[in-house]
Amino acid sequence: GYDAERYTGFAFGMGPARIAALKYGVRDIRVFFENDIRFLNQFAQP
């Protein structure tokens, strides 16, 4: 492990879920991972 007294910093990222949330106006990206088929079907391609 890392010594928290010696090393500090920030972690952030722009994964696919966050990009999709921004594109489609989803306020909480956790809904992408709840596997609610009714929600996910909104993003299915025909």
Question: Which tens digit of pLDDT belongs to each residue from 1-46?
Answer: 788 899 988 888 889 999 999 999 999 999 999 999 999 898 888 8
Per the structure, the count of domains in the chain is 1
pLDDT of amino acid 41: 92
Query: Within a domain: residue 42?
Result: yes
Within a domain: 5: no
Number of H-type helices and E-type strands within the chain: 2, 0
Does residue 1 belong to any structural domain of this protein? no
Per-residue CA distances from 26 to 4, 39, 40 (Å): 34, 11, 12
Question: Could you give the CA distance from residue 14 to residue 35 in angstroms, rounded to a whole number?
Answer: 21
Is 44 among the domain residues?
Answer: yes
Determine the residue type at 8: T
Residue 24 covered by a domain? yes
Q: Which residues constitute the domain of residue 34? A: 11-46
